Amino acid sequence: MDRYTISDLEKLTGIMAGTIRIWERRYRIIKPHRTDTNRRWYDNDDLKRILNISILYRKGIKISTIATFSGTEIEEKVKLLTKESTDIETHLDELIVAMSDLDEDRINDILMRSIINKGFEGTFTEVVFPFLRRVGIMWHTGSVDIGSEHFVSNIFRKRLITAIDSLSPPHNPGKKKFVLYLPENELHEMGLLFYTYIIRKAGHSIMYLGQSTPFVGLRDLVERWHPDYLVTGALTSLPFGKPEDYLRRIGGAFREQVILVSGVLASYAGKISMNNVVAFESVNDLRKYL
């Protein structure tokens, strides 16, 4: 059974711990478990209940009214109210509940509603990536298992790959050549896939190398294909001894290319004096080179 502290619930739902305590005490909407030392803890069902209650509360239903609903009634009302919802916070709460239930159909429904309202790019920047950051918090607190994380991440991954494959061949007369890769031992490719979509949509040529690319293989492909840009990044500094040493290595090896770096590598790019290694923090920063 997954265990959450009241602090975990605050981070995952956006509801202040003090508010949750008031709801517990005044309305009995949730009954926390207790450790041997009388500290509160909550399970997966408690998390889903709080998330569903927060959705109803944001939709204008008084907490005193919600407290009279059974668990089934709360779930039914949430499904009814979110059927046409375009609210970002509601989407995030819905996705966490759907992930907990391993409900792929519901996740795809949430994505489709968001895409219709915000477009494909807006859905990933405003919904998917903020949601994955929440999942990261859950993973660090031990409140989500790796199976659930892979389950939901691969749904998003499939969406990105399908969107990339649906794009027309490069048509831009001034098209550039981009190699996209992740350094050795870096496996989190969601952001890289999204950048691939953005660059391909802008009409440029792509060579996608993906996860954990060996430096020797990267160097060989660059020598043969002669790209204009390399795009890379990393979620954490774990794959490197010193990230700045890695940046100096690729900056020195690929002097004819502009190397665009994101994630944790972006924070180190300014610490080295290499003009061809450039940090970018967002999609808008990346667009400057497209």
Q: Which residue is it, tokens 């492909």?
A: 221
Report how far residue 210's alpha carbon sits from residue 187's, in angstroms, rounded to the nearest whole number. 8
Q: Which residue is it, tokens 């040493």?
A: 245
Report how far residue 15's alpha carbon sits from residue 66's, in angstroms, rounded to the nearest whole number. 16
- The edge-to-edge listing of strands for the beta sheet with 205-210 is 205-210, 177-181, 229-234, 258-263, 277-279
Report how far residue 5's alpha carbon sits from residue 17's, in angstroms, rounded to the nearest whole number. 10
Report how far residue 31's alpha carbon sits from residue 93's, in angstroms, rounded to the nearest whole number. 20
Give me the amino acid identity at 101: D
Q: From first to last of the 290 residues of the chain, give the pLDDT tens digit.
A: 467 888 888 877 778 889 999 988 998 888 888 888 888 888 888 888 888 888 888 888 999 999 999 988 988 888 787 766 667 888 888 898 888 889 999 999 999 889 988 899 999 999 999 998 888 776 666 666 788 888 999 999 999 999 999 998 887 788 999 999 999 999 999 999 999 999 999 999 999 999 999 999 999 999 999 999 999 999 888 788 899 999 999 999 999 999 999 999 998 998 898 999 999 998 999 998 88
Specify which residues 259 forms β-bridges with.
Answer: 230, 277
Report how far residue 159's alpha carbon sits from residue 270's, in angstroms, rounded to the nearest whole number. 34
pLDDT at 1: 43
Give me the amino acid identity at 22: I
Q: Phi and psi of 47, rounded to 5°?
A: -60, -50
pLDDT at 75: 85
Q: Are strands 33-34 and 40-41 parallel, antiparallel or unpaired?
A: antiparallel
What DSSP element (H or E) covers 49? Answer: helix 44-58
**pTM, whole model, 2 decimals?**
0.78
Q: Are strands 205-210 and 40-41 parallel, antiparallel or unpaired?
A: unpaired
- Contact at 8 Å (CB) between 43 and 64? no
Domains of the chain, CATH where assigned = 6-162 (no CATH), 170-287 (3.40.50.280)
pLDDT at 144: 65
Specify which residues 4 forms β-bridges with.
Answer: 42
